[in-house]
């Protein structure tokens, strides 16, 4: 191809109006390149992709615009050489950004014109990464369940034997202390194994008509010692006249307890622990393929365009959560604590999904954290769903 010259070729491609219409409408970026190698037309998607206005694109040497990160790679020259082409590339945009794209080229007419279309793959790459991450986590869960199962029996044997030994020694005997250490460590391992199994093989919720406020009361009772020890101020606010929900109160209590213990642990130097229970209305997301099937029932409960939930907020005034942690806190085994298993939130998330609900976190570093537990209002939304809820992402690692 000759080096492009600044003058633009006269004449128009044969299917001008058709191409114009298609380009205007296309989600992919499209550039029409005239025989001299200059851009004759661009569409809004291409302008967004390259970060250049139509005025800058028009008349520019296409090879200068469609640049990839690979030195010497000339997509446009290649396009003039072949009738049709398709490949993936990483575009270098005007502002120094890099965008993964699928490039398709079509040569037509005599002298040859070229149409270059560019599909932004950023979103798809992100989804692929997400999918791989979920697959990895699901495998990890299954694997650890297998290991946990195998560990359980020998662990029970060690525990029983240590118990027998402990009884044989005088309390003052140093060996009794060792037996005691074995017992304590066995108990710790047993807790981890139980959590692991619970994460990998959650039990089916047994739904019955219950009030969320009852679960809150139970959690406060269960955590009373810790709350007192940490010298926390306790506040609760329950909205009046909330209808009962179909939930498994034991499992929901467990979720709230996990979240509450996290909140308490986040306030080592005191603070306020607050529980709120209320009905919330949220604008329904726009209809689209990403819409969850169970939005439908809840949508009707709040009228068209609205989704209604009962929501429990567990609020702390603790250390807050740094951005990097927010993204990973629902991953199994992710913990920032020396004695944590990192399974508390993973289990909680699974339970919430089994209830057709969701868990979300909103946090400000140094100020505190709010965990939102959303329960759908209709009974059938609380029923266990068929697919493996664990492979879904949390509704939000933070409020989005």
Ligand X SMILES: Nc1ncnc2c1ncn2[C@@H]1O[C@H](COP(=O)(O)OP(=O)(O)OP(=O)(O)O)[C@@H](O)[C@H]1O
Contacting positions for Mg ion (CB under 5 A): 262, 344
CA dist list (Å): 187 to 1, 182, 193, 265: 75, 9, 10, 21
Cα separation, 117 vs 26, in Å, equals 9
42 binds ligand X (CB under 6 A): no
- DSSP string covering 265-306: HT-TT-EEEEEEEEEEEEEPPPSSTTS-TTHHHHHHHT-TTE
Tokens matching residue 216 = 């809150």
Shortest gap between Cβ of 216 and ligand X (angstroms)? 16
Contact stretch for ligand X (CB under 6 A) within 33-41, 64-72, 298-306, 312-320: 312-320
Q: From the list 353, 369, 374, 381, which residue makes contact with ligand X (rule: CB under 6 A)?
A: 369
* Smaller CB separation from ligand X, 92 or 370: 370
> Which one, of 127, 23, 123, 33, lies nearest residue 80 by Cα?
33
Picked from Mg ion, ligand X, none, the partner binding residue 108 (CB below 5 to 8 A depending on kind) is none
114 binds ligand X (CB under 6 A): no
229, 326 Cβ separation under 8 angstroms: no
Shortest gap between Cβ of 359 and Mg ion (angstroms)? 13
- The residue number with the shortest CB distance to Mg ion is 344
> Which one, of 126, 106, 138, 82, lies nearest residue 23 by Cα?
106
Beta-carbon count within 10 A of 111 CB: 10
Q: From the list 9, 12, 325, 396, which residue makes contact with ligand X (rule: CB under 6 A)?
A: 325
336 binds ligand X (CB under 6 A): yes
> Which one, of 334, 353, 249, lies nearest residue 294 by Cα?
353
343 binds ligand X (CB under 6 A): yes
Helix, strand, or coil here: 80? helix
Contact stretch for ligand X (CB under 6 A) within 26-34, 178-186, 282-290, 334-342: 334-342
Q: From the list 39, 321, 372, 377, which residue makes contact with ligand X (rule: CB under 6 A)?
A: 321
Contact stretch for ligand X (CB under 6 A) within 203-211, 229-237, 238-246, 314-322: 314-322
Q: What is the pattern of x (binds ligand X, CB under 6 A) and - over residues 231-270? A: ---------------------------x---xx--x----
Exposed/middle/buried for 268, CB within 10 Å: 0-12, 13-18, 19+? exposed
Shortest gap between Cβ of 237 and ligand X (angstroms)? 18
* Smaller CB separation from Mg ion, 254 or 262: 262
* Smaller CB separation from Mg ion, 36 or 262: 262
Picked from ligand X, Mg ion, none, the partner binding residue 139 (CB below 5 to 8 A depending on kind) is none
Radius of gyration of the chain (CA): 30
Shortest gap between Cβ of 335 and ligand X (angstroms)? 3
344 binds ligand X (CB under 6 A): yes
Cα separation, 376 vs 146, in Å, equals 33
315 binds ligand X (CB under 6 A): no
The dihedral sign for the CA sequence 202, 204, 210, 211: positive
> Which one, of 307, 301, 300, lies nearest residue 281 by Cα?
307
* Smaller CB separation from Mg ion, 101 or 230: 230
- The residue number with the shortest CB distance to ligand X is 344
**Residue ranges in contact with ligand X by CB under 6 A:** 258, 262-263, 266, 316, 318-319, 321, 325, 329, 334-337, 340-346, 369
């Amino acid at each position: 191809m000759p080096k492009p010259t600044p003058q633009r070729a006269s004449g128009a491609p044969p299917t001008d109006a058709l191409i114009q219409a298609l380009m205007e409408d296309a989600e992919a970026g499209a550039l029409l390149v005239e025989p001299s190698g200059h851009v004759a037309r661009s569409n809004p998607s291409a302008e967004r992709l390259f970060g250049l206005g139509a005025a800058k694109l028009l008349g520019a040497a296409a090879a200068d615009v469609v640049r990839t990160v690979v030195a010497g790679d000339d997509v446009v020259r290649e396009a003039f050489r072949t009738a049709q082409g398709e490949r993936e590339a990483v575009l270098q945009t005007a502002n120094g950004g890099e965008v993964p794209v699928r490039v398709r080229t079509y040569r037509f007419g005599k002298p040859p014109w070229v149409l270059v279309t560019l599909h932004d793959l950023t979103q798809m790459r992100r989804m692929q990464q997400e999918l791989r991450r979920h697959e990895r986590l699901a495998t990890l869960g299954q694997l650890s369940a297998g290991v946990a199962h195998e560990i359980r029996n020998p662990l029970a044997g060690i525990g029983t034997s240590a118990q027998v030994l402990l009884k044989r020694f005088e309390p003052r005997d140093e060996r009794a202390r060792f037996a005691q250490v074995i017992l304590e460590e066995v108990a710790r391992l047993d807790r981890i194994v139980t959590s692991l199994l619970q994460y990998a093989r959650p039990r089916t919720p047994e739904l019955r008509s219950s009030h969320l406020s009852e679960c809150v009361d139970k959690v406060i009772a269960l955590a009373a010692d810790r709350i007192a020890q940490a010298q926390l101020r306790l506040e609760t606010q329950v909205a009046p006249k909330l209808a009962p929900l179909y939930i498994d109160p034991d499992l929901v209590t467990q979720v709230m307890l996990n979240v509450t213990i996290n909140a308490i642990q986040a306030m080592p130097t005191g603070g306020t622990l607050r529980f709120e229970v209320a009905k919330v209305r949220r604008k329904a997301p726009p209809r689209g393929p990403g819409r969850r099937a169970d939005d439908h029932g809840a949508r009707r409960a709040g009228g068209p365009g609205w989704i209604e939930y009962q929501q429990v907020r567990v609020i702390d005034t603790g250390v807050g959560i740094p951005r990097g942690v927010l993204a990973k806190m629902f991953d199994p085994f992710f913990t920032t604590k020396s004695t944590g298993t990192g399974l508390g939130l993973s289990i909680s998330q699974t339970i919430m999904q089994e209830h057709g609900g969701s868990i979300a976190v909103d946090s400000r570093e140094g100020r505190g954290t709010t965990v939102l537990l959303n329960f759908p209002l209709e009974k059938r939304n609380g029923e266990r769903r068929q697919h493996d809820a664990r492979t879904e992402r949390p509704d939000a690692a933070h409020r989005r």
